[in-house]
Structure 1
């Protein structure tokens, strides 16, 4: 019987489990989450290594935020924003197994349909109540995705003059009825932050008007959002999941649906924290691997152009390169992509050998560019400071590259050290080991961009704004014939 690994990424915890074809959890592990996507990816890789066996055929990952499941691309996120990480591709490269990614609520709904409260129902709407509010929709027992990211139920508007939401609009139900919003209701009432939702229910049962007002303020906008979803989608079941799903279901008891047109059964989800990993595992076994990138943009004119994604090791340049390549459809040539197969076949070597192979790989990249058709734009991922500037200029001249732009990736040395250390066991023999970390920290203090042509600066400790990068690329290259 084939097995899978299901992974559920949360703001507080990362959960993973080996899953049977029937949804049984055979082994589970967990790690703490982190805001740095590179650290999250490293911890996920560690969990996968603990769970992987020859019987594991695929990996599924539930990701918070907007996900284009067909392309295997994360478009946006919250506390854990993986939009800057080519998550599916990098996990596939690490494991050699197909990886399916989807929004975490879609994964949870898949599990509830298979094993939980959604069994026997065909058309389901699910709200997950936690730090924020997620959503998922199933019609005829198939997850509805629309053009890419349908099901963002946390962004149903319940007050056009309300709080500003992370999505940029006002009055989304996430701003009134999430766990974060409940904390705001409690604070505004002057109660201590330590009061729990269970204590609120206990105070309400004892006749505490203040507790009742807080629960009303939390539940009534959620009821409005549920009524809207029922009006639009006509489900036969609404599920409330997430860490506060059961509490939200109880709070709705004092905010019943009033309009006769919008009546629908509302239930608490049954699988709790296991829903995400079970759903991810089942979806991995059921789905095809992600479909790949969008079709490339037409190449402009007759000149060869290069996007130089520059930065020292662990600066995040590979993440940026892959993100740009996914969105622009331009070929990507990376120094490690050329070098690593030789290290694997040859069995590694010392530092001098690694540097020599790096120079040869650098030359190979520009030889490939020189053979590309006129009008090609390539993305080159490398630390361009490891050789003298005149070496690059000679390669560009021989390759016939007539325009370059630069994306400079950087982070503080301490961050680079942590990232580099977390990936030591993922690199082929021949790459510098832990002894290189102090040198890396010093390099971060003096490293500079090339400043050869237009420059875009990327601080990779922050969420990477790929929309801004791609808009800039189109702008600076627009006039090239």
Structure 2
């Protein structure tokens, strides 16, 4: 089996035998600056390279699993939208299957990572889990009673929650998204702009904290504040994560306002902006007009969808 995780900066692949023992690994840069066509070509090349590794072991690949960022329809295996890579509404699963000649399953990168943590990692004994890795972009996977919440592919787009209304322009064409403050790319760029010195990624900014660098501290504090604001919204307002089409939503308990180190933070400055925080994804006002299912003010309950559609949007797993 081949597994390939396509990120905004790099793609990481592995070849596994029937006992799930890794036989080979691969890492390549994601050429997102050259557009979606170049990224797809690199995915195909990575799959071919891993398939060649399998042939070297005298093995045949039975299945390829590819996970990608953004909004993903896992049922139809379509890449609906990715702000970081730039594709929209691609039948990516079938495209990759045709290009590689191998059976391909397409999934969402963070939901796949969350499922792995739930089954094999830190969340093994938990049933209700929020998994949020931070990389080129920011997304989350929510599991309720052990089942993933998909929300028609939109659930978990936490990186496009507005935490600083009127803030910096995001790749999704909105302003003040969490990704513009707390993603690895944003942290790197913010440090360079503030200090006038280039650094090799967010890890380098984190390393400078141990040396008392005041610019690194200021950038890091701003990122942690943004993350605390988003997590407070998620844990107190499920609508911010599930993106429902009415105010009807499930609720679950959870801590709010925690910093990256686990210590309590001050009340997030954006906690009062929950209506703005609930506008997630590429369809939000400002890029494509009024969000489907919302009123003229952009809030839920626009009245365009019936009760059955609303229940499906919230309760689809």
Instruction: Using structure 2 for the length normalisation, give the TM-score.
Output: 0.66
Which one of 220, 243, 247 corresponds to residue 215 of structure 1?
220
2:297 counterpart residue number: none
Task: Write the distance in 1 (CA, Å) between the matches of 2:3 and 2:253.
Answer: 27
Task: Give the unaligned 5+ runs of structure 2.
Answer: 33-37, 239-251, 268-287, 289-317
Aligned residue pairs, count: 247
Checking the alignment, whether the CA contact within 8 Å between 1:220 and 1:255 is kept in structure 2 is: no
2:68 counterpart residue number: 63
Checking the alignment, whether the CA contact within 8 Å between 2:118 and 2:126 is kept in structure 1 is: yes
In structure 2, relative to structure 1, the CA distance for the partners of 1:232 and 1:66 (3 Å cut) is: same
1:300 counterpart residue number: none
Task: Write the distance in 1 (CA, Å) between the matches of 2:86 and 2:226.
Answer: 27
Cα RMSD over matched residues? Answer: 3.2
Give secondary structure in 1 for the equivalent of 2:187: helix
Checking the alignment, whether the CA contact within 8 Å between 1:220 and 1:252 is kept in structure 2 is: no
1:11 counterpart residue number: 8
The CA deviation string for residues 311-356 of structure 1, in whole angstroms up to 9 with x for no partner, is xxxxxxxxxxxxxxxxxxxxxxxxxxxxxxxxxxxxxxxxxxxxxx
Of the two, which has the highest radius of gyration? 1
1:87 counterpart residue number: 92
Which one of 45, 51, 75 corresponds to residue 80 of structure 2?
75
Checking the alignment, whether the CA contact within 8 Å between 1:216 and 1:255 is kept in structure 2 is: no
Checking the alignment, whether the CA contact within 8 Å between 1:10 and 1:33 is kept in structure 2 is: yes
Q: How many Å apart are 1:79 and its aligned residue? A: 4.4
Task: Give the unaligned 5+ runs of structure 1.
Answer: 239-248, 260-466, 468-481
Which one of 18, 24, 33 corresponds to residue 27 of structure 1?
24
Q: How many Å apart are 1:153 and its aligned residue? A: 1.1
Answer 1 or 2: higher relative contact order, Cα 8 Å, separation at least 6.
Answer: 1
Which one of 149, 157, 171 corresponds to residue 154 of structure 2?
149
Checking the alignment, whether the CA contact within 8 Å between 2:178 and 2:227 is kept in structure 1 is: yes
1:228 matched to 2:218 = no
Checking the alignment, whether the CA contact within 8 Å between 2:9 and 2:29 is kept in structure 1 is: yes
1:173 matched to 2:178 = yes
Task: Write the distance in 2 (CA, Å) between the matches of 1:72 and 1:31.
Answer: 23
1:276-295 superposed matches below 5 A: none
In structure 2, relative to structure 1, the CA distance for the partners of 1:160 and 1:86 (3 Å cut) is: same
Q: How many Å apart are 1:173 and its aligned residue? A: 0.6
The CA deviation string for residues 68-108 of structure 1, in whole angstroms up to 9 with x for no partner, is 11111111224434447532113333555542212211121
Checking the alignment, whether the CA contact within 8 Å between 1:37 and 1:85 is kept in structure 2 is: no
The CA deviation string for residues 266-294 of structure 1, in whole angstroms up to 9 with x for no partner, is xxxxxxxxxxxxxxxxxxxxxxxxxxxxx
Task: Write the distance in 2 (CA, Å) between the matches of 1:232 and 1:8.
Answer: 30
Q: How many Å apart are 1:201 and its aligned residue? A: 4.6
Instruction: Using structure 1 for the length normalisation, give the TM-score.
Output: 0.45
The CA deviation string for residues 169-225 of structure 1, in whole angstroms up to 9 with x for no partner, is 221111111112212321342241127655545554454444322221121111111
1:21-420 superposed matches below 5 A: 23-35=20-32, 36-52=38-54, 56-83=61-88, 85-94=90-99, 97-194=102-199, 197=202, 200-201=205-206, 203-233=208-238, 234=252, 252-253=260-261, 256-258=264-266
The CA deviation string for residues 138-187 of structure 1, in whole angstroms up to 9 with x for no partner, is 22222211122211111121111211222222211111111122123213
Checking the alignment, whether the CA contact within 8 Å between 1:136 and 1:153 is kept in structure 2 is: no
The CA deviation string for residues 228-266 of structure 1, in whole angstroms up to 9 with x for no partner, is 12223436699xxxxxxxxxx9x723873456xxxxxxx
The CA deviation string for residues 43-90 of structure 1, in whole angstroms up to 9 with x for no partner, is 134234225566643221111221111111111224434447532113
Task: Write the distance in 1 (CA, Å) between the matches of 2:26 and 2:208.
Answer: 37
In structure 2, relative to structure 1, the CA distance for the partners of 1:200 and 1:175 (3 Å cut) is: closer
Task: Write the distance in 2 (CA, Å) between the matches of 1:141 and 1:133.
Answer: 22
In structure 2, relative to structure 1, the CA distance for the partners of 1:116 and 1:24 (3 Å cut) is: farther
Task: Write the distance in 1 (CA, Å) between the matches of 2:50 and 2:202.
Answer: 35
More strand by share: 1
Task: Write the distance in 2 (CA, Å) between the matches of 1:181 and 1:114.
Answer: 31
The CA deviation string for residues 289-309 of structure 1, in whole angstroms up to 9 with x for no partner, is xxxxxxxxxxxxxxxxxxxxx
